[in-house]
Chain A
C-alpha cells in the first residue's frame, strides 16, 4: 500500500490493551486515518490525526509523530466485538491511501 506498513495480524485477550503500529512514507503527507473493518463489511472511520500527539476517543486513542512517519492505534478494555481489521490510511496529496490492514483476534 504505497509504503504504509502495519503488522498483518495480532492477538490479544478480552479486557486487555493492544497497540497497533503504522509507519508510512512522509512525502505529500496531509494526515492519517484509522478505519475499522469487520469481516464482510465496509470500513468505518475511527480517527484522524494531522498534528503530533495523542487523540483520545473513548476506548480508542490514536497517536501521530509526523517527523518519524509513525502512528499507533491504542485499544483499551478490549471486547470481543473489537475483533476486526484495523486499517491505517494516509492522506497523501489529497487522496486517501490505505495500508494492508491488521487483523486483530480477541481471545476470551
Chain B
C-alpha cells in the first residue's frame, strides 16, 4: 500500500477482554515498530521486528502484551486481559532496514478500556 495502515482506528473494550491491533506496513519495508502513546505523552517503544531476526521485545510492559509478524509483512499486537491503564494510542511504523532510514507511521489505533 501507499502508507502504513492500522486497524481498527478506534477500539473500545471492556476491562478484562483481549484485543488485537493490526498493522500493514509499507510494501518492502523490512523493519516494523510498535509504540504506545498516552495522552500528551511521548512515544513509548514496545517491540521491533527487524527482517528475519528475532524481534526486540524489550519494551513490552507486561506478559499480557505480545506481537507477531507473519510472512515479514502484517503485524498483530495482542493485549490480553486489558486494563484501564492500557488505554492509549498504539502507533505502528515501518522502514527499510538500514541505519538512518526514515520511519513512516500509521495513523494509530486509539484504544479505550472501560
**Are the chains A and B members of one assembly?**
yes
Task: Please tell me which one of the listed residues B45, B48, B102, B108 contacts residue A42 in the complex, with CB atoms under 8 A apart.
Answer: B108
Whether the pair B100, A101 counts as a contact (CB closer than 8 A) is: no
Asked whether any CB of chain A lies closer than 8 Å to the CB of B107, the reply is yes
Task: Please tell me which one of the listed residues A2, A42, A99 contacts residue B106 in the complex, with CB atoms under 8 A apart.
Answer: A42
With contact pairs A43-B43, A98-B43 given, residues A48 and B50 touching in the complex (Cβ less than 8 Å):
no
> Which residue of the partner chain B has the closest CB to A41?
B107
User: Which residues of A from 41 to 94 have beta carbons under 8 Å from B?
Assistant: 41-45, 48, 50, 87, 89, 91, 94
User: Which residues of B from 63 to 114 have beta carbons under 8 Å from A?
Assistant: 91, 93, 99-100, 102-108
CB distance from B2 to the nearest CB of A (A): 14
CB distance from B3 to the nearest CB of A (A): 9
Report how many residues on chain B are interfacial, defined by Cβ distance under 8 Å. 22
Interface of A is mostly: strand
User: Which residues of A from 13 to 50 have beta carbons under 8 Å from B?
Assistant: 30-31, 33, 41-45, 48, 50
Whether the pair B103, A95 counts as a contact (CB closer than 8 A) is: no
Asked whether any CB of chain A lies closer than 8 Å to the CB of B41, the reply is yes
Whether the pair A50, B99 counts as a contact (CB closer than 8 A) is: yes
CA distance A95 to B44 in the complex (A): 12
Asked whether any CB of chain A lies closer than 8 Å to the CB of B20, the reply is no
Whether the pair B105, A43 counts as a contact (CB closer than 8 A) is: yes
CB distance from A8 to the nearest CB of B (A): 10
Whether the pair B99, A97 counts as a contact (CB closer than 8 A) is: no
B-binding residues in A (CB < 8 A): 1-2, 30-31, 33, 41-45, 48, 50, 87, 89, 91, 94-101, 103
A-binding residues in B (CB < 8 A): 33, 35, 40-45, 48, 50, 56, 91, 93, 99-100, 102-108
